[in-house]
Structure 1
Amino acid sequence: MSENTTKWVYLFVLSLIWGSSFILMKKALLGVSAFQLGALRTIFTTIILFTVGFKHVKTIDKTAWKWIALSGVFGSFLPAFLFAIAETEIDSAIASILNSLVPLQTVLVGFAVFQIASTKRQVLGVVLGFLGTALLVMEGADLNPHQNYLYAGFIVLATVMYAFNVNIIKRYLQHLKPITIATGNYVVIVIPALIVLVLTGFFRSSSLQHSELKMALLYVFILSFFGTALAKVLFNKLIKIATPVFASSVTYVMPIVALTWGFLDGEGFVVLQGLAALIILLGVYFANKKA
């Protein structure tokens, strides 16, 4: 398989996995709090990654650890909590739609902080994707006027962090294997996650035997295995073989998957949202079409 074909396969698989992550968070929040969800997701992912990747940690050179730490905090630790908090107020599909801001943030952060140039075609693609996203958000607001859209700010903040993570990996961690980067990330963030979980009173809870919690833990494990551990390794591989903008454009396709899950779960969907999804796909095409 050619490298060009491989990166599109990664894009499709990641879109399917991450697009399904939002409904899993929604279901998990029925049995745990937002902070417990963020902490448990980090801890479960650490256990999964350590079983296959801990031996790679020793290959990380001393100069890379600061970038591994920043990548872990910006790319995994804080967003896990920010998305969980946001989904206590807004639909899972809307959360995915807002996540489509990542490519725009990647271009802006790459240009402003990392001096990574973007072509006019990439900018056009990002703008189209952003317009499609805006249309989806407006329609979501009309369908769900009772939702508190101030919580969307948590997701916007997470997209900025994701943009920093993409550029950090592309610029400073290219010499490391994807599994090495992912495992190193969680070496750094697992202790803070454990502290957060303890502070939430999770282990003192009298509801540890409740069926809602058991189902929530199952959803968190599935989310951790596929949506975090496996997806993080695949995403790191994608960053290595593609541009930062192409890698982040996975967030353009995710809303289509998330909208499908949301529709099946009773969340609203109208024809105009379908049109917005097509605009998003057009943005992906332009952002990645060779001159």
Structure 2
Amino acid sequence: MSHSENTSKNWSFLIILALVWGSSFILIKRGLEVFSPGELGAYRIVAAATFLLPLSLPRVKYLKSQQIQNLILVGLVGSFIPAFLFAKAQTQLSSSLTGVLNALTPLFVVVVGAIFFKSRITKRNAWGLLIAFIGVIILVTVKEGSGFGALTEINSYAFFVLLACLCYGFNLNLIKYRFIELKPIEITAISLLMVLPVALIYLMAGTQFAYKLVSVQGAWTALGYVTLLGVLGTALALILFNMMVKTASPVFASSVTYLIPVVAILWGVWDGEVLLLGHYLGIAAVILGVWIGNRKKVTATS
């Protein structure tokens, strides 16, 4: 494939993923109207992994033990743990702000890469981290009716999103540097298969998921939203994402988060969420920080 074709493909993936993942936060919001964060996170994984079983089961027997270990790790940090963290965060955060905080992923890619994969943090990266951190502080201290809240009023649920971004930072670097021999579809399908048993056991034995389906009004509608979230937002989107990671730099791939906040905010405003002036200042600082920290590293091919 030529350089121009590769570049066009990567940018196409970037736009599609921004639309899909930017819509994920409103789907989580709808699912939480019926299900608990644990139920939503577990079923999201079950839906995604089940959808990909025809692809994962025939391939898993050909893997080496080291590959299986790495895929279990990718399943945990790339899908399983973030699914629970985002659901928990949105019990106290709007879908718009959750989407904005998710934009910090590229900076976590840089930090994790520097600490664990021997990459280098430049002055530009450091400035980006500082500006984005200021944006996060603004976002988590904005309080309706009083401008900026006091430090004691920080919305701690934002830290669930930051932890999810840290997981994604590990995931991106793992996929880029530890899976040279595997195809993107194998990484996605098998990593989800690795965490499927845990998600399924927890969902059926540790929650009221089955009971809610037969007793709570609107449960099946909420189930539809979370199924869409799992199949599109996790399974199919991860295939596209991993394909992009294999042909682009990790930072370019994670830059889909530049566009996710725009989509998330549009959905949030459409759904009646209110953003204050402080929110917009925080949003601007986060996106500016991410852009500054990665602007010369974002290239379509590695």
State the secondary structure of the residue aligned to 1:247.
Answer: helix
Equivalent runs, 1:112-127 vs 2, <5 Å = 112-121=115-124
Pairing 1:13–2:16 present: yes
TM-score (norm 1): 0.87
Find the aligned partners of 2:120 and 2:126 in 1 and give their Cα distance: 10
Find the aligned partners of 2:148 and 2:51 in 1 and give their Cα distance: 37
Identity score, percent: 38
For 1:217-276, what per-residue CA distance to the aligned partner results, in whole angstroms no more than 9, with x for missing partners?
000111011110111111111111122222222223211111111100111135675566
Q: Give the length in aligned residue pairs.
A: 290
Going from structure 1 to structure 2, the CA distance change for 1:131 and 1:10 (only over 3 Å counts) comes to farther
Going from structure 1 to structure 2, the CA distance change for 1:252 and 1:132 (only over 3 Å counts) comes to farther
Alignment partner, residue 54 of structure 2: 51
Q: Runs of 5+ in structure 1 lacking a partner?
A: none
Alignment partner, residue 218 of structure 1: 224
Task: Give 2:211's aligned amino acid.
Answer: S
Alignment partner, residue 186 of structure 1: 192
Going from structure 1 to structure 2, the CA distance change for 1:45 and 1:290 (only over 3 Å counts) comes to closer
Task: Give 1:257's aligned amino acid.
Answer: V
Find the aligned partners of 2:206 and 2:154 in 1 and give their Cα distance: 24
Going from structure 1 to structure 2, the CA distance change for 1:8 and 1:136 (only over 3 Å counts) comes to farther
Find the aligned partners of 2:239 and 2:133 in 1 and give their Cα distance: 26
Aligned mate of 1:248, from 254, 258, 272: 254
Alignment partner, residue 289 of structure 1: 296
Q: Runs of 5+ in structure 2 lacking a partner?
A: none
Task: Give 1:5's aligned amino acid.
Answer: S
Equivalent runs, 1:66-215 vs 2, <5 Å = 66-121=69-124, 137=140, 149-202=155-208, 205=211, 208-215=214-221
Shift of 1:119: 4.9
Going from structure 1 to structure 2, the CA distance change for 1:238 and 1:207 (only over 3 Å counts) comes to closer
Shift of 1:281: 5.6
Find the aligned partners of 1:200 and 1:143 in 2 and give their Cα distance: 41
Find the aligned partners of 1:203 and 1:122 in 2 and give their Cα distance: 43
State the secondary structure of the residue aligned to 2:214.
Answer: coil
Alignment partner, residue 31 of structure 1: 34
